[in-house]
Amino acid sequence: MPDKRSAAGRDRPRHGGNIYGLAAELGIAHRKVLDFSASVNPLGISKKVKAELRKALKYLPAYPDPDCTALRRQLSKKTGVPDKNIMCGNGSTELIYLIARAIKPVRALIAVPTFSEYERALSVNGVKEITFFPIEERDNFELNIEGFIRGMRDADIAFLCNPNSPTGGVLSRDAVLSIVKHAGQCNCYLVVDEAFVDFAAQESISSEVCNNPGLMVLRSLTKFYALSGLRLGAMFFHDDVSAALAANKEPWSVNSLSQRAGVAALCDKAYETETFKYLRREKAYIEKMLRRHEISFYPSKINFYLTRDERAPVLYEELRKRGIVLRDCSNFNGLNDNYLRIAVKSHRENALLFKNIASILRKNNHVLPK
């Protein structure tokens, strides 16, 4: 059953990727922290993006294009959405807050466990009633679509992450479109966060926004293209919400380097091909090693795994002491400290992770399977 509660009073750590805090705690350089808590492309920044960034440095004295014209055109070319129906932001997180500010909903629905910023954006913008619709472990963390659709009848706005973080589940395009259809019928805005959809591009529904007035689709250029430090996201929307979004948008939130990097990244087809080739190999290795150490994990078509194991708290703390950080999922709604999220990284890093896991399990007298 959906869980209704006030959004107030929830103040806890929300994200992975804070290598700086751990580096300070251990007294080491942050570059020496091995970060499996942030799920970004293991190939790192593409050569084309690096070259474009070097060329773009000379333009830094000028203000960035406030309309992100070139980037929106490139996104339009990639998705088929007219550039007038695209907005870019300082990561998709800025756009989540923009939606809450512009739409001004009263009642919201969120499928959980998921990205915590939906709840926080709603809360800081005055939304008092948030319903949390559980994605159940007993269903292998697959969304009960019919239940979620029923939940939208009592909401002004609903948030759905697809592919979902931290579970790694991916709804088919047809399944999401069925949710979009019902959202329109009950006059509920639907926000579909496709931050990881580049890893499963065939399931994207961004091209459908012009046909659905209440649909807004978020995309991130920081996950697939490893541009997390530049902060770059995009939103696709119908004409009906264009004016409200524009009226609440801060100017110049996307800097010049981010805009140029985004255009270069979207044009790099070789990088895209190599990414999928690399991920297939490394995901097979990670799954083999998880099974070898008898660590349960959930199916994932993207670049991370949600794992469940009673030894997780020990592994998490002992790995941190060694400068290796996983994503502790105990602060996700519906999960606890037996759950960890592990990003797919380079083979050297992946091998080092499991070498340390084996060492920790032996040290703590856990029997390793042969």
Q: Give the pLDDT of the chain (370 residues) as one tens digit per residue.
A: 555 443 333 333 455 556 667 767 766 767 778 899 999 999 999 999 999 999 999 999 999 999 999 999 999 999 999 999 999 999 999 999 999 999 999 999 999 999 999 999 999 999 999 999 999 999 999 999 999 999 999 999 999 999 999 999 999 999 999 999 999 999 999 999 999 999 999 999 999 999 999 999 999 999 999 999 999 999 999 999 999 999 999 999 999 999 999 999 999 999 999 999 999 999 999 999 999 999 999 999 999 999 999 999 999 999 999 999 999 999 999 999 999 999 999 999 999 999 999 999 998 875 544 4
- Per residue in 117-156, pLDDT (tens digit) is 999 999 999 999 999 999 999 999 999 999 999 999 999 9
CA 72 from centre of chain: 21
How many whole angstroms separate alpha carbon 185 and alpha carbon 160? 17
pLDDT of residue 33: 80
Q: Do 176 and 335 touch, CB atoms closer than 8 A?
A: no
Neighbour tally for 94: CB within 10 Å = 22
H runs (alpha helix) in the chain: 19-26, 47-56, 69-79, 91-103, 117-124, 145-152, 173-185, 242-247, 256-266, 269-292, 312-321, 347-363
pLDDT of residue 7: 39
Handedness of CA 47, 346, 196, 219 (dihedral sign): negative
Query: How many CA atoms, within 13 angstroms, populate the side-chain half-sphere of residue 56?
Result: 18
Q: Do 339 and 308 touch, CB atoms closer than 8 A?
A: yes
**What is the amino acid identity at position 341?**
R
How many whole angstroms separate alpha carbon 176 and alpha carbon 131? 19
Q: Do 233 and 91 touch, CB atoms closer than 8 A?
A: yes
CA angle 262/85/48 to nearest 5° reads 10
pLDDT of residue 347: 97
pLDDT of residue 32: 77
Domains and CATH numbers, the chain: 3-44+269-363 (3.90.1150.10), 53-266 (3.40.640.10)
Handedness of CA 142, 147, 153, 154 (dihedral sign): negative
Q: Do 130 and 110 touch, CB atoms closer than 8 A?
A: yes
Instruction: Quickly tell me which residue has 């992770």 as its tokens.
Output: 353
